[in-house]
Structure 1
Amino acid sequence: MTWVVTSKQRFYLHDSETLLDGLLRTGHDINYQCREGYCGSCRVQKLAHSQPIEYFIHPLAMIDEDEILPCCCRVQGVIHINEELIIE
């Protein structure tokens, strides 16, 4: 089971649910455009993670080492993201 921790809440991802889908399901206001890693508009800052983050679609958008694209990444274990720094 994957747990996501933001400054506002903690929730788990359903099986086969992307991080973006989980954020939207739990009421987080996050911008997104493509769901395929092209635009980068959904990027968030990762604070910590317990397991490696992988991408099921290699993103074309440029991201910093402390950022992830929730639309196309796979997270497992526990991940902490900065709710306040979700880029819209």
Structure 2
Amino acid sequence: MTWVMTSKMQFYLHDDESLLDGLLRTGHDVNYQCREGYCGSCRVRNVSSSHPIAYPFVPLAMLEEDEILPCCCRVQGVIHIDHELISE
């Protein structure tokens, strides 16, 4: 089970649920467009995580060291993110 912590709340991801879908399900305001890792509009800041963040494929969006794409990343364990809009 994956636990997600934001400034708003703590919740867990359902089986096979993306981080983006979990954020939307719990009422977080996250921009998104492609859901494929191309546009980068859903990027959030990874504050900390108990396991490495993985991607099933290399995303095309340019990311800073502490940014992740909730639409396509794979998270495990406990992750703490800053979901506030990151300006490009």
Bin of the TM-score, shorter chain as denominator length? over 0.9
| CA RMSD, 1 decimal | 1.1
State the Cα deviation string for residues 29-84 of structure 1 (Å, max 9, x = none). 1000000000000000010000010012320000001000000000000000013x
Number of equivalenced pairs = 87
Q: TM-score scaled by structure 2?
A: 0.94
Give the gaps of 5 or more residues in structure 2.
none
Runs of 4+ in 1 over 3 A off after TM superposition: none
Range moving further from structure 2, 55-64 or 9-18 = 55-64
Q: How does 1:1-88 map to 2 (within 5 A)?
A: 1-83=1-83, 85-87=84-86
Percent identity of paired positions between Structure 1 and Structure 2: 74
Q: TM-score scaled by structure 1?
A: 0.94
Letter in 2 for 1:54: A
